[in-house]
Structure 1
Amino acid sequence: MTENTPLGSGYVLQRKIGSGAMGSVWLAHDRDGKEVACKLLRSEFADDPAVVAKFVGERTVLVRVRHPHVVAMHDLVVDGGRLGIVMDLVRGSDLRAGLRPVGTLPPAEVARVGAGVAAGLAAVHAQGIVHRDVKPENILIDTTVAPSQPRVSDFGLARIAESSAATRSSMAIGTPNYMAPELADGHIATPAADVYSLGIVLYEMACGVTPFEGGTQLATIRRHGDALPGRPGGIPEPLWEVITDCTAKDPGQRPTASALAERLSSLVPTLASEPAAPRLAVPPAPVELRLTTPHTAVLPTAAVAAAASGNAASAGLQADHPVAATPQPIPVVKRKRRVIPAVAG
C-alpha cells in the first residue's frame, strides 16, 4: 500500500500511522478534505467472503453508535480486495502508551477515565454490541480537549473477525489478561463481560499491573475463573469496592456500564486528594476460591499448546493480542453464584 491511494470513491489514504492485530491504520481524507482514520483489515479477513458479508451486514449498526467517549465509525468500505473501516481521527495516544511513562494514575484520575470508558461502553451496549476486547490499547485518549478524554475504539470488530474461516468454528475470547471468566466457559459474550474487562483496566491503572498476569496464557485464563484479584496497597476502599464489583465471577452481580459510569463519576471528588500508588512489578498473590463441581470448558488449542510448551510465542500468541483458536475441552471448575475464599487448613 502506498501513500495517496484511493479507497472506494470517497477516501484517499495518506500515510500509515499504526497497526494492530486486525490490520493497519491510515491517516486519510474524505471527499470534503476532512481528516479521518481508516483501518484496513488484514488480507485473511478481507479475502474471506463470510467476513465481507458480515462486514457489510454490520455497517448499519456500527455507524449508529455516537457518543463523546466512543471513536465513531463513519463508513465501512469494500474496495476490491480491501476492507476499510473509516472512523474518527483521535489526536493523542492510547491508554497503554499513556500509562507506560507514569506506571499508575492517581485514584481520582482512575475513576475519571474509567467513568468515561464505562459511559462509552454503555452507548455501545445500547446498540446491542458487545466489545469483547476492552483493554488499554483499545482506549484512545483524546488530548485535543482539557482534561483529556478517553474514547472506546474497535467495538464491533470481534463480531466481524469471528466470521473468518480461521475463527468460524472457534471462540474469539479476547485478550487473556482482561478476559471475563464466563468466556473461558464457552458462554456467549454479554455486556457484563466488557464490565469485567474494564474492572481489570481500573486495577491496572491503579497499580500498574493486571491481577492475574504472569506464567502462561492458559494459567492466566484459569486464574480469572478460580481466584479473586489480590489487593495492592494504595487503592482507596471506595475504588477497590468498584473494582471488586466489576470483577465478580457471576456476570449477574456486576454493575451495568451505565451504573458504573455514574458510580465512578461520583467518586472523582472524593478521591481528589489521594496520591497515585507505586507501580508494582508483579501483582499481589490472587485469593484462591473454594470451588465445586468439575466440568468441561472451551479454551483455545493454541493457548493450551503454548501453556504446555511454556512458550506463548510458539503458538503465535501475544499477551496484548486477542486469542482466537480452535476450541479444545480441558478440565476446569464450575463456579456457583456465591464463591467463598479458601481458608488454609
Structure 2
Amino acid sequence: MSHLSHSAIVPVYTGGTTEGLPYFVMRYVEGGTLYDVLKVRKAAGLHFDLAEVAIYLEPIAQALDYLASLPTPVVHRDVKPANILVPDDPRPSATVLTDFGIVLYEEDNRITSEGMRVGTDAYLAPELYPTSLSAKAPSATAASDRYALALIALEMLTLENLREHYNQQQWAHSRLIPEITAQDLGPRNQDFAEHINTVLHKALAENRARRYTSAQEFIEELTTPTATPRRKSTARKWLLAAMVLGLCGIGVAGAWNYLAKEDWSGTQKEIAAEYPQIVGEKEGGTGWEGLKCNPQEVAAEAPMEASISCSSPRQQISVLEFASSDARSDFKKASPGRGSARKEGDRCSLEVVAYADDLTGFYPDGKHSNFVIFYRGELESAAEIPAC
C-alpha cells in the first residue's frame, strides 16, 4: 500500500503483523470524518447542497479513479462516510480516503470463507451479495466502489441512509431505488430534484454496466445541473406547500392547522418558550429574520427530544432540545467540529463550534445547557443570532 500516492489518500508508510494481528502505519490526520459531519447535519435537519457534495466527495472521486487507473487496479471495498476523513484544514476539497485494511488488487485471488462479504452492509453494491446460483460472494470491483460513493451522495442530499428502508432480503436481492422528491431535499436543491434523480438512478443502477465508468464524471454531473428548473404546475405548487410544513413533513392532512398557525404544542412547546425570538410564537409562522418555522420530526433513536427548523432558500436555523445537559454533552463529543470559541454575554455564555464554512453550532450554558442551535448561512449573520 505504501506505493499509493494521491492527495486524497492517507499515505500508508508501512505495515506488518504483530502476534498474528495485522497493522498499518499511516499519516495522522487531525480532524473528524464525514460520518461525524453527517451525524450533526442529520440532527439539525441541515441538508447538504450540491456544491457541498462536490466539496466533500470530489477528492474521493478523484482518489477512486486514481486507484482504478493503476497498472494493477486497486479496489477499496469499504467506501463509507466513516472512512472519509475531514481534516481541520481551511482549504476546500481537503477530504481524504482512509482505511485500506481490506483493499483488493484486482489480479489477486480472494481467499475468503464461502459466502463471506467484505465491506459495510449499508454501502455494498447489490452485485456483492451471494445468490441462489452462487453461494460465494462475488468479487468487488471499481464499479462497486463507485456505487458506494453514490450511496453516500444520496445520503448527504436526503439525510437518509437508504439501507434503513429495506430488510436484509430486499437490500441484497430486490433493491429498488426510490424516486427522490423535492420534499426529500434541502431548500437549495429542491428545484433540481429531477436532475438529481436522473443522475443517482444511473449511478445506482443494478446492472453495473449501466453505471458511470468514472467517479469524477458522476460527481461532476450530479453537482453541476445545467437545465433551468421547470415552472411548477398548480398541482406541484400544492405539493410544495405541503412540503413546507416541515423538513420531514407533518403531512397534507395537517395543512389546515398550518395555515391557521396554531401555537406551538407537544414536544416543541418548550423550545418555543425558551427561544421565541428564533422560532416565533406560532407553528408554521415566521421567526428570526422572517424565516418560516416548522416542527422537525425526531427519529426514535435520535438523542434529542424535539426540534424546530426555520428556513429560507439562503439560510436555515434549527433549535434542538435534549433530555439533559449530559445527553447534549454526549452528542457534542461524538460530533467534533473544526474549532470552537467561547462567547460571553449579559444573559448567558455559550460555546460556538464551527462545523463547516457555513455551518455553526451554538451550545449555551446554564438553564439552556440541554439546547443546541445550528445555523447554516453567512457567518456575518451568525453573529446576530439571539442564542441567549
Q: In which range does the TM-score fall when normalised by the shorter chain? A: 0.5 to 0.7
CA deviation string 1:168-207 (max 9, x = no partner): 3333242222211111244321111111111110000001
Q: Which runs of 4+ in 1 moved over 6 A?
A: 162-165
Larger % of strand: which? 1
> Cα 1:279–1:243, aligned 2, differ >3 Å: closer, same or farther?
farther
Unaligned runs of 5+ residues in structure 1 are 1-61, 272-276, 282-345
1:112 aligns with 2:61: no
1:71 aligns with 2:10: yes
Aligned residue runs from structure 1 range 241-252, under 5 A = 241-252=198-209
SS in 1 for 2:68: helix
SS in 1 for 2:114: coil
Specify which of 77, 85, 104 is matched with residue 140 of structure 1: 85
Unaligned runs of 5+ residues in structure 2 are 132-136, 230-243, 250-388
> Which whole-Å CA distance do the structure 1 matches of 2:101 and 2:20 have between them?
21
Q: Percent identity?
A: 28
8 Å Cα contact 1:119-1:261 kept in structure 2: no
CA deviation string 1:48-77 (max 9, x = no partner): xxxxxxxxxxxxxx2222111111211113
> Cα 1:183–1:140, aligned 2, differ >3 Å: closer, same or farther?
same
> Which whole-Å CA distance do the structure 1 matches of 2:206 and 2:180 have between them?
16
8 Å Cα contact 2:59-2:93 kept in structure 1: no
Specify which of 174, 177, 189 is matched with residue 228 of structure 1: 177
- Please say which structure displays the higher CA radius of gyration: 2
Provide the TM-score with structure 2 as the length reference.
0.48
SS in 1 for 2:24: strand
1:92 aligns with 2:31: yes
CA deviation string 1:221-265 (max 9, x = no partner): 2343xx123314234243333222210111111112243354456
**Counterpart in 2 of 1:293?**
none
**Counterpart in 2 of 1:260?**
218
> Cα 1:230–1:264, aligned 2, differ >3 Å: closer, same or farther?
closer
Aligned residue runs from structure 1 range 166-185, under 5 A = 167-184=112-129, 185=131
SS in 1 for 2:35: helix
- Counting matched residue pairs gives 210
SS in 2 for 1:111: helix
SS in 1 for 2:138: coil
**Counterpart in 1 of 2:66?**
123
**Counterpart in 2 of 1:343?**
none
> Which whole-Å CA distance do the structure 1 matches of 2:172 and 2:248 have between them?
21
RMSD of the TM alignment (CA)?
3.2
> Cα 1:138–1:223, aligned 2, differ >3 Å: closer, same or farther?
farther
> Cα 1:120–1:279, aligned 2, differ >3 Å: closer, same or farther?
farther
**Counterpart in 1 of 2:40?**
101
8 Å Cα contact 1:176-1:221 kept in structure 2: no
1:83 aligns with 2:34: no
8 Å Cα contact 1:211-1:230 kept in structure 2: no
- Relative contact order higher in (CA < 8 Å, ≥ 6 apart): 1
> Which whole-Å CA distance do the structure 1 matches of 2:126 and 2:110 have between them?
24
Q: Which amino acid aligns with 1:193?
A: S
8 Å Cα contact 2:2-2:11 kept in structure 1: yes
